[in-house]
Structure 1
Amino acid sequence: MSCDTTPTWALSGGNNRATALFLNASPYRAISHPCRPQVQHHREATTILTRGEGQKAVEWRLLTNRVVATLEEAAQLIDWYRCRWEIETLFHVLKNGCRVESLQLGHVRKLELALAIYLVVAWRLAHLTRLGRILPDLPASAVFEQTEWQAAWLLAEKPPPRKMPTLREVIRRIAMLGGFLARKGDGEPGVKTLWQGYTRLSSFVRGVEQMRSIHAL
């Protein structure tokens, strides 16, 4: 059994409130059960204990069939596991936001085409949610067209800012169109309010572009 420590920013990119990480790696054998196959190989049980200032300790375990000999290897496995939540977010948008399970298409080819389009939509929303948290000060122009970010203010009946807003400002404004309250203790918006707000934003932007195309604006 080994024990070591490392700052959690090495795992979380600076967004984790915890200040230290304690690792115990020990062999683990699954308990046999008549309804599941016998496990023949040992698995490493990684125990993570994080302590933030003034916070209660949090402990969780990640079981893996990979050999963990060093703290760096354990940190790599944790980063792999963290990718699972990005995938969960993607399929959450795909199923509940895009409602792909409600599609009533008579041919597999049509279903494949629809999924290809909706996967791009789901990826964009999941990507925006993530970017707004890890790169909040990124200029909005890196992700949005000018018409898009200005529309976020116009739909709220507010004048668009004269200076280029940050990505975080635009994402929060879009999420407010979808029901995000943006109160002091609310944290950052989730993907659900973002997709609801983005639906309104997209319809508005398409309307503006159509009006410009016929020289009505």
Structure 2
Amino acid sequence: DCPEGETPLSWMLLTTEVVETIEMAVTILRWYTYRWRVEEFHKVLKSGCQSERYRLASDGMKTLLGFLSVIAVELLHVTYLHRTQPDALAIEILNPLQLQVLKAAASQKLPPILTVAWAVESVAFLGGYLEHRRKTPLGIQVLWRGWLKLHDLCQGWQLAIRT
């Protein structure tokens, strides 16, 4: 829909795919929308996971990239839910052990309901996010550092309860 008196916007998506039906055109458009998710994934992989700083032989690099890719997808999921469903329960993004450890590590009084927003901010604080910068959006690097620290704390927790 175009406002009255305005020229409608027209655009063309170039593709190497053969498009002979409306259904195929819709499929190509859907593929195009995934482009942003792929770019966001690569940003997380490069910026957050710092995949480019590693210089390994090809087999070692494949293994590392596989591991980092899993973490990157997890962080994308967490940040997506933080943006779209901040009031969802924290258990949507944390396993029970992570939730228990994050509650124990919390420096502030726990809210009555542990939400995705609380969990993501708590992970960010573990990664060095500063209290006075609450109005600044959470960066992927601070979430990456917090995610790694949470992982380390969970390992320590499991070791402590084993003894």
TM-score (norm 2): 0.72
State the alpha-carbon separation in 2 of the partners of residues 174 and 101 from structure 1. 24
SS at match of 1:64: coil
State the shift of 1:208 in Å.
0.4
After superposing the two structures, state which structure 1 stretch, 120-129 or 133-142, moved more.
133-142
Specify the code of the residue in structure 2 equivalent to 1:177: L
Does structure 1 residue 132 correspond to structure 2 residue 130?
A: no
State the alpha-carbon separation in 2 of the partners of residues 85 and 94 from structure 1. 14
Structure 1 residues 156, 165: CA separation in 2 closer, same or farther (over 3 Å shift)?
Answer: closer
SS at match of 2:8: strand
Give the aligned partner of residue 25 of structure 1: 9
State the alpha-carbon separation in 2 of the partners of residues 141 and 173 from structure 1. 14
Structure 1 residues 185, 166: CA separation in 2 closer, same or farther (over 3 Å shift)?
Answer: closer
SS at match of 2:128: coil
The structure 2 residue matched to 1:157, chosen from 100, 107, 132, is 107
Give the aligned partner of residue 155 of structure 2: 206
Specify the code of the residue in structure 2 equivalent to 1:25: L
Give the aligned partner of residue 22 of structure 2: none
SS at match of 1:25: coil
Does structure 1 residue 4 correspond to structure 2 residue 2?
A: yes
State the shift of 1:209 in Å.
1.1
Give the aligned partner of residue 190 of structure 1: 139
State the alpha-carbon separation in 2 of the partners of residues 202 and 23 from structure 1. 54
State the alpha-carbon separation in 2 of the partners of residues 169 and 160 from structure 1. 9
Aligned length: 152
State the alpha-carbon separation in 1 of the partners of residues 104 and 69 from structure 2. 28
State the alpha-carbon separation in 1 of the partners of residues 156 and 7 from structure 2. 55
Structure 1 residues 135, 187: CA separation in 2 closer, same or farther (over 3 Å shift)?
Answer: farther
Give the aligned partner of residue 143 of structure 1: 93
Give the aligned partner of residue 109 of structure 1: 59
Give the aligned partner of residue 95 of structure 1: 46
Find runs of 4+ consecutive structure 1 residues off by over 6 angstroms: none
Structure 1 residues 90, 102: CA separation in 2 closer, same or farther (over 3 Å shift)?
Answer: same
Is this contact kept in 2: 1:141–1:164, CA < 8 A? no
Give the aligned partner of residue 36 of structure 2: 85
Q: Bigger relative contact order, structure 1 or 2, given CA contacts below 8 A and separation 6+?
A: 2
Is this contact kept in 2: 1:150–1:160, CA < 8 A? no
SS at match of 2:9: strand
Is this contact kept in 1: 2:47–2:140, CA < 8 A? no
SS at match of 1:173: helix
Specify the code of the residue in structure 2 equivalent to 1:141: I
**As a proportion of its length, which structure holds more helix?**
2
Structure 1 residues 159, 147: CA separation in 2 closer, same or farther (over 3 Å shift)?
Answer: farther
State the shift of 1:114 in Å.
1.6
Specify the code of the residue in structure 2 equivalent to 1:211: A
Structure with max Cα Rg? 1
- Aligned-residue CA RMSD (Å): 3.3
Give the aligned partner of residue 174 of structure 1: 123
